[in-house]
Structure 1
Amino acid sequence: MVSLLYIWLFSQSFHFHVAHLYAHLGYPSAQHIVGQRYLKGAGVVKDQEMAMHWFRRASQQDHPHGSFNLAVGKLKNITGSMAVGDIEMLLHVAARQGIQEAQELLENIIWTKSKPLPTKRVGSF
């Protein structure tokens, strides 16, 4: 009975600890959940670097949301730099598995790369 009361009162923290256990066991969905919890500070102290760590672990197993969140984190410069090609690869993983936001972001990156750079005009009247 006491354990049920604890779960009810501290469900955010309890959920984080259960997900954290499964994340350490290598479950990519749990790794993504733990990353989300760190990113938002839900049941744990907010820590963007730890969030990116767990998104990276999930993305290494082709988890679509983990890949997408890691790519967005890299684009926002939350953690370290990453080549545009690596970001595109993460977005491809997410887009192939149906993440619409990943497809849209990928198309935007490709469109931006294909645009010619503006030329500088020098002193015309």
Structure 2
Amino acid sequence: MNKKTVVLGASENPVRYSNMAVKRLRTHGHEVVAIGKQEGRIDDVAIVKGQPEEQDVDTVTVYLNPLHQQQYEAYILKLHPRRIIFNPGAENSALAQKAKQAGIEPVEACTLVLLATNQF
């Protein structure tokens, strides 16, 4: 099943976990919206800057530390995904609490591991 996923903190750098996540999400057939601090490409996915209008987002997977998440907090909540995955280093209890209050499931996990173990 295709789960439209916003990758927050996407990078063209192939050693970055966000880059690997975009590639693996595409391999698994998911639609990906990649948001980074610089525009670029990861295979067939454009990396965009800012906060693009999106509908029907299943998952937001976060690769930014909590300090850099602040500028996206209202945006993430406005997207109202089914869940937010906080990857290692991106754990944010304050945002997780706000998400819960908004009916969004916060998950502390690694997107790559979830994909590899068919738990995504």
TM over 0.5, shorter chain: no
**TM-score w.r.t. structure 2 length?**
0.28
Q: Which has the larger radius of gyration?
A: 1
Q: Which has the higher helix share?
A: 1
